């Protein structure tokens, strides 16, 4: 059976104006990601990896080039990008991005509210997502009552609650100790095993090794694109 292409970008460019200067964050990037791939994007500061993540996550649009998500031209859906993000993509951030006055359950349920689910459905699905990340006993806790690892688990539950096809994780272990980092990466392994495409931005070599493919950016271009040993696992 032919593998399905879930992401394709062609000639992707992103130029920012800083004063009178132009900064080329992405410079003609071509990239294809298949369904259920596990990809790590690496690169030094200023390499373009965060810009790439923002464009893939429909949080930003390129200056030039094209982006196809599940065969649809994203740049022709500008008025629908919020809906595309909510439906197709789950985000996991380094800083967790949880609302401080919302409980774990309420934080996880937020994407479902934007999707128009009923209160009962939101509660049921949010509880199930928390169960999947091992936090069913923490649903009434506020973020400041949770450890860093628990907060990241809540963020992962929020990312998967809408059953998106793609999980984008931007430095998901950046604020965590080593032991907790490995626990979070094991959880992302489980999510990938359930069929999600996972795209991970990291500057840590040991974290990148969880992926099946490592793409390195340098000066806004793809410097290397390597598949590693566990691609078939």
- Give the SS3 label for residue 33: strand
11-35 mean pLDDT: 92
- Cβ atoms 218, 188 nearer than 8 A: no
Owning domain of residue 192: 36-61+77-232
pLDDT of residue 107 exceeding 50: yes
Q: What is the pLDDT of residue 181?
A: 94
Phi, psi dihedral angles at 22 (to 5 degrees)? -110, 130
Q: Name the strand (E) or helix (H) holding 106.
A: helix 104-114
The string of pLDDT tens digits covering residues 29-60 is 999 999 999 999 999 888 999 999 999 998 88
pLDDT of residue 81 exceeding 80: no
Tokens standing for residue 127: 């509880």
Q: With respect to residue 69, please indicate whether it lies within any of the assigned structural domains.
A: no
pTM: 0.90
Q: With respect to residue 224, please indicate whether it lies within any of the assigned structural domains.
A: yes
Q: With respect to residue 6, please indicate whether it lies within any of the assigned structural domains.
A: no
Q: With respect to residue 172, please indicate whether it lies within any of the assigned structural domains.
A: yes
Give the C-alpha separation, 212 to 184, whole Å.
Answer: 17
- Cβ atoms 137, 109 nearer than 8 A: no
Q: What is the pLDDT of residue 231?
A: 44
155-179 mean pLDDT: 93
Q: With respect to residue 71, please indicate whether it lies within any of the assigned structural domains.
A: no
pLDDT of residue 207 exceeding 70: yes
DSSP secondary-structure letter at 8?
Answer: E
Q: With respect to residue 84, please indicate whether it lies within any of the assigned structural domains.
A: yes
What percent of the chain lies above the pLDDT cut of 90?
A: 76
- Cβ atoms 108, 154 nearer than 8 A: yes
Give the C-alpha separation, 133 to 105, whole Å.
Answer: 12
- From residue 122, give the alpha-carbon distance in Å to each of 91, 126, 162: 18, 6, 10
- Cβ atoms 198, 192 nearer than 8 A: yes
140-146 mean pLDDT: 97
pLDDT of residue 216 exceeding 60: yes
Overall number of domains in the chain: 1
CATH number where 142 lies: 3.40.50.300
Give the C-alpha separation, 47 to 225, whole Å.
Answer: 14
96-114 mean pLDDT: 93
Q: With respect to residue 8, please indicate whether it lies within any of the assigned structural domains.
A: no
- Cβ atoms 167, 198 nearer than 8 A: yes
Q: With respect to residue 22, please indicate whether it lies within any of the assigned structural domains.
A: no
């Amino acid at each position: 059976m032919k593998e399905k292409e879930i992401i394709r970008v062609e000639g992707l460019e992103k130029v920012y104006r800083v004063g009178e200067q132009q900064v080329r964050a992405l410079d003609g990037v071509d990239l294809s990601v298949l369904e259920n791939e596990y990809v790590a994007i690496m690169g030094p500061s200023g390499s373009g990896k965060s810009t790439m993540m923002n464009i893939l996550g429909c949080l930003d649009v390129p200056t030039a080039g094209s982006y196809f998500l599940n065969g649809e031209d994203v740049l022709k859906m500008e008025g629908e990008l919020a809906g595309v993000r909510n439906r197709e993509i789950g985000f996991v951030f380094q800083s967790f991005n949880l609302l401080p006055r919302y409980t774990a359950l309420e934080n996880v349920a937020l994407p479902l509210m934007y999707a128009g689910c009923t209160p009962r459905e939101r509660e049921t699905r949010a509880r199930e997502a928390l169960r999947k990340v091992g936090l069913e006993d923490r649903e009434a806790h506020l973020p400041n009552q949770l450890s860093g690892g628990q907060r990241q688990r809540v963020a992962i539950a929020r990312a998967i609650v809408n059953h998106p096809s793609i999980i984008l994780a931007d430095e998901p272990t950046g604020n965590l100790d080593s032991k907790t980092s490995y626990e979070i990466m094991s959880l992302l392994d489980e999510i990938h095993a359930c069929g999600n495409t996972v795209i991970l931005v990291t500057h840590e070599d040991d974290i990148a090794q969880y992926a099946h493919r490592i793409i390195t950016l340098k000066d806004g271009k793809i410097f290397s694109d390597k598949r590693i040993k566990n691609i078939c696992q």
